[in-house]
Structure 1
Amino acid sequence: MPKFLIQATYTSEGTKGLLKEGASGRRAAVDQVVSGLGGKVEAMYFAFGQDDLVMIIDFPDPVSMAAVSLTVKASGALHTRATPLLTVDEIDEASRRQVTFRAPGS
Structure 2
Amino acid sequence: MPRYLIEATYSYEGLRGLMKDGGSGRVDAARKTAESVGGHLESFDFSFGERDTVAICELPDNKAAAAMALTIGASGGATTKTVALLSPAEVDQAVRQTVDFRAPGA
The TM-score, its normalising length taken from structure 2, stands at 0.94
The one-letter code of the counterpart of 2:75 is S
Q: Which moved more, 1:27-36 or 1:85-94?
A: 27-36
Q: Which residue of 2 aligns with 1:11?
A: 11
How much is the aligned-residue C-alpha RMSD, in angstroms?
1.0
Q: Which residue of 2 aligns with 1:31?
A: 31
For 1:35-46, list aligned pairs within 5 A. 35-46=35-46
Unaligned runs of 5+ in 1: none
Unaligned runs of 5+ in 2: none
Question: Structure 1 residue 62: deviation in Å?
Answer: 1.1
Q: Which residue of 1 aligns with 2:76?
A: 76
Question: Structure 1 residue 69: deviation in Å?
Answer: 0.5
Q: Which residue of 2 aligns with 1:91?
A: 91
The TM-score, its normalising length taken from structure 1, stands at 0.94
The one-letter code of the counterpart of 1:5 is L
Percent sequence identity over aligned pairs: 45
Measured against aligned partners, the alpha-carbon deviations of 1:58-99 in whole angstroms (never above 9, x if no partner) come to 001111001111111111211211111101110010111111
**What CA distance in whole angstroms lies between the structure 1 residues aligned with 2:74 and 2:22?**
22
